[in-house]
Structures are given as structure tokens and as C-alpha cells.
Amino acid sequence: HGPYQPHEPGYGLDQPEYTPYDDQIPDPEARTLAIHNAKAYLLKTSTVSGQNVYDHLANVLTKILDEQPTNTVDIIESISNDVKCGQFQKKMDTLRDEHEILPAFEAAEKCKALFIKENGEENEEIIEEEIGHTPLPNVMQTAFYFEQAGIGLSKDESYYIFLALKSLINVQPIQTCRFWGKILGLEMNYIIAEVELREGEEEEAAGEEVTEEEGKGMDEVEEEDKEKEKEDEPPKSTYKPPPEIPKEENGTGANKYVYFVCNEPGKPWVKLPPVTPAQIVCARKIKKFFTGRLEAPVVSFPPFPGNEANYLRAQIARISAGTHISPTGFYQFPEEEEEEEGDTYEENPDFEPPSVAEMVDSLSTWAHHVKNILKQGRCVWINPKKIEEKDEEEEEEEEEEKSEEMEEEQEETGPPLLTLLSEDEGIKDIPAWTAQASTDLIPQHSVAILQSNRWPGAYAFASGRTFENIYFGWGHKYSPENHNPILPPPVQTEYPSGPAITETRDPTLEEELAFKAAQEALAADEEEEEEEEEEEDD
Amino acid sequence: DYRFERVWFWGCIQGVRGAYYIAEGLGPDRAAPRRRLYSLNCLDWSLLTPASREKVARARQLKGRFQGDPSFQYNLADTSAEAAETLLEGGKEPVIKEETRLIATIEQIDKAVGIVPRGAFVKTPLGSVHENRHFEGLSLVEAKKLCSYFHFTEPVNLKNKTLLEKANLDPSTDFLDSLEHDIPQGSWSVQVEKGGTVVVLRSLLWLGLTFYHVPMTKQYGYIYFGTGEKNIDLPFML
């Protein structure tokens, strides 16, 4: 730039004593006022973007001086633009950063607990104890096999579940443990572990007594009777509720395993209460989503006896009974006991696994190893009459009445343990199971995968001697028809109807007149007879 | 050869004997009807030609699982005698191929539960729909609300909104139906996983449709992995 001419704005700037306003405003006070005005103008905030020219120019110059790019004057517009954009982002960034840290941080804290505890206790135990049979299942290995079929959770999640199971084992006295699966819910999901507690260390779960509505009804009727003693007593209800079918003992039948659930790995494990037959029978009739909170009530018809924890447990029992399978021959009945209803089975040491192709082709290479649940809701049928006889041994008369009234209940039988899969019924024309090999391209390392069609979400795999069952799904059975809720029961008869109670029609006017005429005729006849008798006597 | 700009893996419909893998291809206008391809083994893909409306309506009445064989014939007389009669009068056989049923199901699913986050697509004044290159993702707070997700189909409820609500809408981004007013209410399950890093929406009407979005990033998508049957029992289950 050459020396400034007087008419150009920069004139006089390069000479130290002179400022651009010298020739315009000689008065120093007015000059400072003018400077203030100019600065105030520059500081005026824009109504659109909330910035002002003064700050913006200061930022641009700072940036230029910091970065010292080449050919600054050529790119000064884009620098100005960048600074403007930079202003926006910087403000929003700080806000967002603070938000984001919180939820991820909290979750990480919980998971950290999983990791830390492991390290602390693990080292000590391994040194002291012998490395015996650990109850911890190898979740990662199972996850690998299922991944071959495209089923399963992500590796991260599987690993978290692995660690969570480990923390469970450290807390509870557990003999065997297995990752049963994951059930999805509306707000949260459930991760479920199937566990067998060590013998003798089981705590009796606080029994949740099923409140029978019929029982309550009986009490109310009795109270009313007492109040109305002066009046005629209303007929007492002859209805006796069917006896409550007792639940199976812990460790047998449907309660063979104890289940622990948690919403996410890192959260504490909660033990599910044992399941009662009434709950299973009711769970068969309803179809509800799980919300993810164990205390949530299950609002349904017929009313479910229990809350979501009980419903979850009932569904787990049904799924296990329907879909837990193993290669035929892996388990066998111990040879000593010959009971058909034997609950126990043990691993067969002589088991030779059939090839993967065989396992996929025919379903007879698979067998159920969990007992089927009967209609009654238990695995072992119990005669309801026998329960009543135990309760009311004193009143013999009532026993006789009952045996007359109650129909003979037939013993319910279900398929015995270790039934082959080929005998599973399909639904309409859909077979109960779909079998596939995990890959056709590499048959040496492929795994046989079975998907259940009755319980969508239940999978099983087998490869040589290893096999496993797992469930990922919503927890409902498949039914091709729509779900029809049960209709309410028909209205019960309140009292037996007989001629004494039944209303008859009031006689009409003609009938009454005819009746009266007849009565008068009768009376007239009698009078005549009396008169005749009197005449005779005389 | 199909001149797709982008190809997405739509999902997998599991039949009794096999599974169908479905892919979608998109042209430059994202709102145009999509072209879909299916395959049984992910190697050989065949194009699914969009079927006529009557065929789709008939195929909707079929119930039950898919068989896994695209040439399987469903006998229409089993499900609806009237439809079979009308077909017979027209001189055609009352059967529906599984392919048609596949097309109908995929369309139904996309229409009913294909969702995108708000702001991911913009509508130009000319009417065509493009991806929004300035879409930075929803914030965590927004991502938990159902109103920040839209159905990616022709809007049905948009015109019924009150004027007050319409005043707040931005016509370039809010041109679709949001999930808030889905019937029945509660037919979406919103979950946040991994401590807030991923938001997962699952549809309860079509069990198996999962939508994910990583807040504050451009990543989102949905996939269907299920049996291809509508969950008609939904009102009982909620």
C-alpha cells in the first residue's frame, strides 16, 4: 500500500501523533465521547444471532494471530465464517457434554462394579481352592456356537452376562448354573439364570398364599347369616371351592430349578418364587407382555394369582418344559430305579454323539429332558380328592357327600421324561421344530441348530458332546389363531327353584269370579245338606 | 444392474423350512416405492415385483407361518370362501403364491412400522425427499420420546392436527406421521441400552421389528427379524 492520500480513510494513521479523527474532532473530550459511541455501536448485539461486531472482529483477529495462515487477506471471509460457526458449536457443546456424561457414566459405574469385584475375590479363591468343577457356565462358548446360527446377543452383552453370573455364584450357594436366556419386556428386559442350589442350603421362600376369592365369599355369607339370625336365614351356599392343588416341592417337577433374574448385568439378581400349579394353569389362558418390573400387577382375565414375578416364573416353567432338549442318549435313567415317573436322569457316559447331518435330518435324535407339565399344572399328577380327605378327616358325612358329587377325576398322564422330539405334535401343518445346520459350506465345523415353532425364540444347538438350550424372545407361545380370552363363567344358580318359591301368575278377574261362584255354590250345597239333616233329626 | 444408490438389508422372515433374506434398494428419491429383492441363501437374489392391490389385499388374509418355499401355493378357499369365489368367477385359480404373500407382508410392515428419526429426511419444495446431510442425530432426551420418530410412509394424521400444532411444524422436516398417536397406545417399546449410547425401539404390533439409533450421530436403522405375522393379540397383551 502506498502512502495514503488525504481523502483516503487511512490517511494520517502511519504518523504517530495523528489519529483519524484529528482533523474532524479537535476537542479531546468530544473525541473520547465519539470513541465511546463508536465502540458502543460495535458492541450492539445482533437481534438474529446474539453476537456483536466487536467481539466477532476480536475473535477473528485472535484466530488469525494464533494460526497465522498464509494469504490471510484472501481467506479472511471464510475465517470470519468459521469463527461464527465456532461460536455456535462451542456453546452447544458444553451443554451437550454435560448431559451425555451422566447416563453413560452411571451405567459404566454399575458395570465397573462387576469387573472390580471379580478381580478382588477371584484371585484369592483361585489360589486357595482347588480348581474343581466350577458351577459357572461357559457363556462365551455357548454364545459362540449360537452365533454360528445367527442367534444371540452381542459379544459385549454376553461378556457382561458372564461376569454377572459369576457374581451371582459368589453370592449364592449354587451347585449348577446355566444362562437360561433373555426375555424382552416393554420397559426393561429380563436376563434369567437357571440355578440349582446346593442341597440343604435352600431357604424356604416366603410362601405367597393364593387368596381365594371363593373363600372370602364364604366368610361374607357367614357374617350376613349372623346378622340376620332373627329373620329367616337365607339359604347357605352349598358351593365348596375346588381344593387348592399344592405346589410341587422345591427340587422336583416344575420347581426343579431355581431362577434368578436381573434387568441388566450389573444390577442385583432377584430370586423368583417357586411356581404353583394354579399359576401355570392361569398363565396358559392369558397372554400379556412383560413390563420389566417384577412387582408390576398382571391385570387379566381370568385374574392371575400373583404379580409379574409369578407370571414370569410360570412362563419360564412352561418354556423349559416345552423346549429344553438334548441329544437322545445323552441322558439316561439310572438303571437301579425302575419308576416310570422317575425325575432323575444322569449323563450317559457311553454316549456317542451322532453326526451333525443326522441331528438335523431326523428329530428322533433329540429328546426332552424336562418333564412335561400336565393340565393340572404339575408334573406329577395328584388326586384332588386325596387332598380333601387329608383336610377334613373328621367330618365323615361330608366325605360321602363329596364322593357322590365329585366326578371321578381321571389320572392325567403326559409324555414321560426323555421323549423323543419326533413325537412332538405340530400346530396344524407346521412341525414343532425346524432343524438346520449352521452352515452348508463347511460341514466339518457346522453345528446343528433347532428352532422351536411352538415357542418362537427357543433355540437349541448341538455339536458333538456339547449342546445347549437358550431362549431369546417375548415369552409367549405361538398360536395360529387369535387369542380368545375366556368368557366369564355362567351365572351360578342362587337357590334351587321349586313350587314354593316359584312365582305363579295372579288369577285374572274372570277366574276369581268363577272361583267365588264355585265357592258360593259349594256353601249353598252344604247349607242345604245341613237343613236336610236338621229336618231328618227332627 | 438395478441402478440403486443405496442398498439396505431389510431383514429376514423366517419360514418353517427356510428363511427369506430381504434387501431393499433405493433410488435418488427416497420416498419412491422401494424395490425389494429376496434370497434364500444370500447368494442368489430375485426381484420382488410389486403386486396389484387386490392381490395384496387377498394375501393379507392369509394366516400362519411362511413355509420357506417361494413357489408354495396357499389355497385361498381355506381362509376366505368369498375371495375364492370371486377369483373363480374371474377365471383364475383360488391360490396365492408365497411370493405374493411375501411382497404383501413386507409392504405392510414397512408401511406400518418403518420408522425414521425426525430430521433425518427433508422434503424439498418440489416434493422429492432427500436425506438431510445436516442431520446430526437426536439428543438423548429427544430420542426417548416417541414423537421424535416418524413413519416413513404417506402421512395419514398430519392433516388432522390442530392449527396450533401445525404452527410448530417445520414443513421441510415434519412431513410425516409421528409415532405418538399410534393405535393402540403403547405399541412401541423404547429402551435405552449401554447406558444411553443406543436407543432401541421395538414394535409390538409386528414382533421382530427393531429400530436402533445412536443419539448424536447419524446412525440409525431398522431391521425385521421374525416370522412375518402381525400380532393381532396386541390389545390383550398390553
pLDDT per residue as tens digits for the range A100-112: 456 566 666 666 6
Cα dist. A117→A170, A260, B229 in Å?
Answer: 10, 19, 45
Among partner residues B139, B194, B216, which is closest to A107 by beta-carbon distance?
Answer: B194
Contacts of B194 in chain A (CB under 8 A): 104, 107, 156
Q: What are all long-range contacts of B38-46, with beta carbons under 8 Å and residues at least 24 apart?
A: B38/B70, B38/B102, B40/B68, B40/B70, B46/B70
> Rounded to an integer, what distance in angstroms lies between the CA atom of residue A164 and that of residue A417?
32
Range of the domain at A81: 28-85
Q: Residue A100 and residue B237: Cβ atoms within 8 Å?
A: no
Q: Residue B16 and residue A184: Cβ atoms within 8 Å?
A: no
Residue A204, pLDDT > 50, answer no
Q: Are strands A448-452 and A433-437 parallel, antiparallel or unpaired?
A: antiparallel
Tell me: ipTM over 0.95. no
CB A424 within 8 A of CB A432: yes
Helix (H) or strand (E) holding A321: helix A308-323
Q: Does B9 touch chain A (CB under 8 A)?
A: no
CA distance B127 to chain A (A): 29
Q: Does B63 touch chain A (CB under 8 A)?
A: yes
Average pLDDT rounded to a whole number, residues A61-86: 80
Residue, of A214 and B163, whose pLDDT is higher: B163
Which chain A residue's Cα is nearest to B68?
A: A434
pLDDT at A212: 34
- Residues B82 and B175 both lie in one domain: no
Residue B121 lies in a domain: yes
pLDDT at A54: 81
Range of the domain at B35: 6-112
Count of domains observed in chain B: 2
Residue A406 lies in a domain: no
- Residues B135 and B217 both lie in one domain: yes
Q: Does A480 touch chain B (CB under 8 A)?
A: yes
Q: Residue B196 and residue A186: Cβ atoms within 8 Å?
A: no
SS3 B226: strand
Choosing from A473, A496, A512, the residue where a domain stops is A473
pLDDT at B15: 82
Q: Does B141 touch chain A (CB under 8 A)?
A: yes
- Residues B107 and B172 both lie in one domain: no
| Angle, helix A139-148 to helix A155-171, in steps of 10 degrees | 150
Among partner residues A156, A288, A480, which is closest to B63 by beta-carbon distance?
Answer: A480
Average pLDDT, rounded, for chain B:
77
Cell digits for A205? 421362600
Helix%, strand%, coil% for chain A, nearest 5: 40, 15, 45
Among partner residues B17, B186, B227, which is closest to A456 by beta-carbon distance?
Answer: B227
Average pLDDT, rounded, for chain A:
71
Among partner residues B65, B227, B237, which is closest to A288 by beta-carbon distance?
Answer: B237
Contacts of B64 in chain A (CB under 8 A): 428, 430, 480
Contacts of A111 in chain B (CB under 8 A): 195
Task: Give the pLDDT band (50/70/90) at residue A134.
Answer: low
Count of domains observed in chain A: 2
- Residues B25 and B121 both lie in one domain: no
> Rounded to an integer, what distance in angstroms lies between the CA atom of residue B131 and that of residue B29?
9
- Residues B143 and B96 both lie in one domain: no
Residue A294 lies in a domain: yes
Residue B94 lies in a domain: yes
Q: Using alpha carbons only, how large is chain A's radius of gyration in Å? A: 43
> Rounded to an integer, what distance in angstroms lies between the CA atom of residue A527 and that of residue A498?
38
- Residues B160 and B177 both lie in one domain: yes
Among partner residues B204, B216, B227, which is closest to A289 by beta-carbon distance?
Answer: B204
- Residues B84 and B125 both lie in one domain: no
Q: Does A428 touch chain B (CB under 8 A)?
A: yes
Residue A69 lies in a domain: yes
Determine the residue type at A61: L
Q: Does B80 touch chain A (CB under 8 A)?
A: no
Torsion angle of the four alpha carbons A39, A45, A51, A53, in this order, in degrees rounded to the nearest 10: -30
Determine the residue type at A4: Y
pLDDT at A122: 46
Q: Residue A483 and residue B236: Cβ atoms within 8 Å?
A: yes
